[in-house]
Structure 1
Amino acid sequence: MRPIEELRGKYTGCMLGAAIGDALGKQNEGLSRGDILKPGYITDYGKAQVGCPGYKLKRGQYTDDTEQMIVLAQSLIECNGFDVLDFSGRIAQWGADALADTVKKFLIGPSSSIAIFRLNSGVSWRDSGSDIPTCGSAMRVAPIGLFYNSLDEVESNAALSSIPTHNSKAAIAGAVAVAIGVRCALLDMSCYDLIKETCSRASKYDTGLAKKIEFSFDKRDSEPDEVFAELGTSYLVYETVPCAFYCFSRHFENPERAVIEAVNAGGDTDSIACITGALCGALCGISSFPERWINGLENKDMIERLAEVILKTAT
């Protein structure tokens, strides 16, 4: 059996890694890669430029990516597993509060906004999800990969967790891919085997997304400028999730480099880096991230406590 301290490092590494990537990437969200790289690579926390969705956020402050991940983690803990009714209620309440906030309302994507409105209008979680193939359910899903030991349970619960807000086949496949990737990273699978398992599971829901993740792995030795241009970096799940797997595949033994690559990809940088951070943290643990990133992160102690409780209650 793996030492508990090693597992604790992986669990906290996954959740803090996701939040770190989100907080770093929010500086560049919506900018092109060319515009980001003109002054040089972003390697530490800072303020977003005026016009970016997160320009009113402080250094080290994360976006809705991490906030939704926290909501999911809290639901898993309170219900001792994934309960779609509980999660739907929590995400609806979180969304209502966020949309009423003068800062946070600009961070919520189109799919989530539509679903939150529907849920709060009394629409069932079965029918509330948007069919826009965006990455909102993939960016938040890491706790499911931490909670369930069985890959079958990770897959089924990740898919179910997407439906209340993101009900397209591609979005569901994206959530499955990230959750399975996290669980495989916890199991110390080789990068090749992790990608193989991820693509096999995701292909049940959307073969196109699975093929793009496989492509991102095949291109891991190609230069980022080339690969990001080929994959695309928008908030569509067909682009965001494969880009994150490219950054992970290219630098899985060096999480700092992987996250920096994601932060500077262009487009939906907070979500690309959030997913990259979750995958790298689950594989390499919290000690693989720089202390300046850990200590400068908003609410790091709270997120770490959530990870530790999930570890204690994981099935």
Structure 2
Amino acid sequence: MNEQLKAGVYGAAIGDALGVPYEFMTRDTFTCTDMVGHGTHDQEPGTWSDDTSMMIACADSIRANQGAIDVKDIRQRFNLWRNDACYTPDGVVFDCGITVSNALRRGRGMDGERDNGNGSLMRILPLAFADAADSQIGKVSAITHAHEQSKLACIMYVHIARDLARGMSAAEAVDANAVFGEPFDRIPRIAELGRADIKSSGYVLHTLEASLWCLLNTSTYEDCVLEAVNLGSDTDTTACVAGGLAGILYGLDGIPSAWIDTLRRKDLIDSCLW
């Protein structure tokens, strides 16, 4: 198994699980310091959400197709998750974004300006470890999120992940890939912004900026994902997206062993990797 892929996926899944109890909570009304359960969705500690379910469904397709990117197959696996609760810890779908739900029901990605949620960014990480061209990354995003902004966010994220896997520092990887203009013009200086300037809603650009800000302003996996959760609002997705990059940067050994132990259904996650 590709250990960097596993570190990235585990990093994302643990970030997701850390954030699940606090989803939708306002910044500074809570403090996450460890992996707990219940809260917003009343789930057991270590339970991950739609973010990880869709990510491992994507990974499972790539694994089954021996590294090939088959958009139709990925869509079918997303429908297995949404309709039959496959790729879930308990056989229950307890969280699904509106854009994702509409796109899967209609069989086409949503491409309006208001359809730029983070539902493709949260699941795109496995493509960093496949031979996926930018056009293919865009098509996988477009299964649900077909607006150019969502596709570009996914492309940037995948390239940053790849550069981290090649051994670049976080600052080098972000700098090398901050190549788009508006509305991505804050990315080159994202590390310099204050916490109050960072938003953590479900908007794709907010999630990308917040995840990179957390990665660049911390020096451990633990600090990165806790900072992401404590930004509030879309806590699970911000921590999932940040955690995927932090997992690659710091490796499995850099993730607290207690959190790995608490993470549920590692067998299911592992079965989807290659």
Relative to the length of structure 2, the TM-score reads 0.90
| Alpha carbons 1:28, 1:48 under 8 Å: kept | no
* Superposition map of 1:94-173 within 5 A: 94-98=81-85, 104-119=92-107, 127-131=108-112, 132-148=115-131, 153-173=132-152
Residue 45 of structure 1 corresponds to which residue in structure 2?
35
Match of 1:238 among 205, 216, 236: 205
Cα shift at 1:199:
1.8
Report the Cα distance in structure 1 between the residues aligned to 2:134 and 2:176, rounded to whole angstroms: 11
| Alpha carbons 2:18, 2:229 under 8 Å: kept | yes
Distance 1:209 1:292, change over 3 A: farther
Residue 286 of structure 1 corresponds to which residue in structure 2?
252
| Alpha carbons 1:244, 1:276 under 8 Å: kept | yes
- Opposite residue 145 of structure 1, the aligned amino acid is A
- Opposite residue 43 of structure 1, the aligned amino acid is T
Report the Cα distance in structure 2 between the residues aligned to 1:105 and 1:91, rounded to whole angstroms: 12
Runs of 4+ aligned residues of structure 1 deviating over 6 Å after TM superposition are: none
Deviations 1:249-269 (A, max 9, x none): 112x41111111111110111
Using the TM superposition, name which of 185-194 and 236-245 deviates more: 185-194
Match of 1:23 among 9, 13, 17: 17
Cα shift at 1:71:
0.5
- Opposite residue 174 of structure 2, the aligned amino acid is I
Residue 74 of structure 2 corresponds to which residue in structure 1?
87
- Opposite residue 216 of structure 2, the aligned amino acid is S
Deviations 1:28-65 (A, max 9, x none): 110111212xxxx312221242xx3xx23211000000
Report the Cα distance in structure 2 between the residues aligned to 1:231 and 1:249, rounded to whole angstroms: 13
Report the Cα distance in structure 1 between the residues aligned to 2:183 and 2:65, rounded to whole angstroms: 31
Gaps of 5+ in 2: none
Report the Cα distance in structure 2 between the residues aligned to 1:296 and 1:82, rounded to whole angstroms: 32
SS, match of residue 27 in structure 1: helix
Residue 61 of structure 1 corresponds to which residue in structure 2?
47
Using the TM superposition, name which of 61-70 and 156-165 deviates more: 156-165
Report the Cα distance in structure 2 between the residues aligned to 1:26 and 1:208, rounded to whole angstroms: 31
Cα shift at 1:105:
4.7
Task: Answer yes or no: is 1:216 the counterpart of 2:190.
Answer: yes
| Alpha carbons 1:134, 1:171 under 8 Å: kept | yes
Gaps of 5+ in 1: 1-6, 120-126, 220-225, 310-315
Report the Cα distance in structure 2 between the residues aligned to 1:170 and 1:184, rounded to whole angstroms: 21
Q: How many aligned positions are there?
A: 269
| Alpha carbons 1:10, 1:186 under 8 Å: kept | yes
Distance 1:103 1:299, change over 3 A: closer
For the pair shown, the structure with the greater C-alpha radius of gyration is: 1
The structure where helix makes up a greater share of residues is 1
Cα shift at 1:173:
1.6
Relative to the length of structure 1, the TM-score reads 0.79
Cα shift at 1:135:
0.6
Cα shift at 1:215:
3.3
